Structure 1
Amino acid sequence: MTSLHTLNQAPSNASLMQSCLSSLQPDDTLLLIEDGVYWLLDTHRAKFPIALNIKALRLDAQARGLLPLVAEVDLIEMDEFVHLSVTHDKIVSWF
């Protein structure tokens, strides 16, 4: 069973991210949305396990001025968000 985890909290809420990371399974996907895209900055991204499947909404990264800084991350559009939502068995929202 695969899960899509969406996280919208900034790095100031590190305990929420720790809870999220501890619940991820190998085939799960973590999608950073809203202020959650700040986790993509190098100082925070280094805390993620290497094998973690991370994606982020392009519009949210762009709205926060992060696009030039997060070029290595899989940035997705809303239609891809919808696709992930229907292809995973469940969605877990971290707010």
Structure 2
Amino acid sequence: MLHTINKSPFENNTFTTCVRFLQPGDPVLFIEDGVYAVQAGNRFGALIQSVLKKNNPVYALKPDLDARGISAIAEGVKTVDYAGFVDLVEEHQVNSWL
């Protein structure tokens, strides 16, 4: 299942809640203000690394990173464009954490 997160982790607990429900291999995609979670050097870096260590791929939507001026992201996080976003949605059932 693809988990999409669109809320900033600084204003919402969506990301931390999502982590509790991840199954091995479930990808996580940060979009909109959710991309603040993957910014390098913030307090969510350890949580991002724990997700990656459980073999859950982590993605961030590149246009949303660019729109927010985020150029440095946590190690191991992959960026996707809109086509990559569509590919992920086609490959997985989606759970949107709103």
Same fold (TM over 0.5): yes
Unaligned ranges ≥5, structure 1: none
Percent of aligned positions with the same letter in both sequences?
36
Secondary structure of the structure 1 residue equivalent to 2:4? strand
Deviations 1:14-41 (A, max 9, x none): 5221210011111110000000000012
Deviations 1:37-81 (A, max 9, x none): 0001222222221323100000000000002x1274211000111
CA distance in 1, matches of 2:46, 2:90: 29
TM-score (norm 1): 0.86
* Residue 91 (structure 1) aligns with: 94
CA distance in 2, matches of 1:71, 1:8: 17
Q: Check whether the contact 2:31–2:64 (CA below 8 A) recurs between aligned residues.
A: yes
CA distance in 1, matches of 2:87, 2:9: 26
Map 1:54-65 onto structure 2 (within 5 A). Answer: 54-65=58-69
* Residue 35 (structure 2) aligns with: 37
Unaligned ranges ≥5, structure 2: none
TM-score (norm 2): 0.84
* Residue 47 (structure 2) aligns with: 47
CA distance in 2, matches of 1:71, 1:36: 14
Secondary structure of the structure 1 residue equivalent to 2:13? helix
CA distance in 2, matches of 1:13, 1:26: 27
Letter in 2 for 1:16: T
Matched pairs, number: 91
Give RMSD over aligned pairs: 1.5
* Residue 4 (structure 1) aligns with: 2
Letter in 1 for 2:60: A
CA distance in 2, matches of 1:14, 1:62: 21
Deviation at 1:13, TM superposition (A): 3.7
